[in-house]
């Protein structure tokens, strides 16, 4: 007798858990992802931003990402020059203009530490 009661109770519990999980997944999916919102605001491509950053710093890009900063959308591009200096270059995602180019002391220090370990 207990077996006939436990099976339907187990099925009911599994159904409630599944429905709750689906409801939670659907609810969290309604909020727009920041990356999607930032991408919609960008008027230039990642390739164009990387090209602008490489031309500004005179090197090759190693990393690039799209970020929202203070209401504006910018591409943050890391560029390494032939003499192994690392620059963080910010490119306006709306018009492709280079907003800043700064020597990245933190990355330079990490590279020096890696060389010392070898």
pLDDT tens, 38-94? 888 899 999 999 999 999 999 999 999 999 878 889 999 999 999 999 999 999 999
Alpha helices in the chain (DSSP H): 2-28, 34-41, 46-57, 105-117
What's the pTM?
0.63
Instruction: Compute the distance between CA of residue 98 and CA of residue 59 in angstroms, rounded to an integer.
Output: 15
Q: What is the mean pLDDT of residues 97-110?
A: 80
Contact 83, 104 (CB under 8 A): no
Residues constituting the chain: 118
Contact 78, 86 (CB under 8 A): yes
């Amino acid at each position: 007798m207990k077996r006939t009661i436990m099976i339907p109770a187990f099925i009911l519990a599994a159904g409630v858990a599944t429905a709750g999980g689906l409801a939670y997944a659907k609810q969290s999916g309604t909020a727009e992802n920041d990356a999607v919102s930032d991408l919609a605001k960008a008027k230039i491509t990642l390739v164009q931003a990387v090209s602008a950053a490489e031309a500004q710093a005179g090197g090759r890009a190693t990393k690039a990402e799209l970020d929202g900063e203070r209401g504006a959308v910018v591409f943050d591009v890391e560029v390494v020059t032939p003499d192994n200096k690392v620059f963080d270059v910010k490119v306006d995602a709306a018009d492709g203009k280079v907003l800043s180019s700064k020597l990245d002391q933190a990355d330079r220090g990490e590279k020096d530490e890696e060389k010392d370990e070898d």
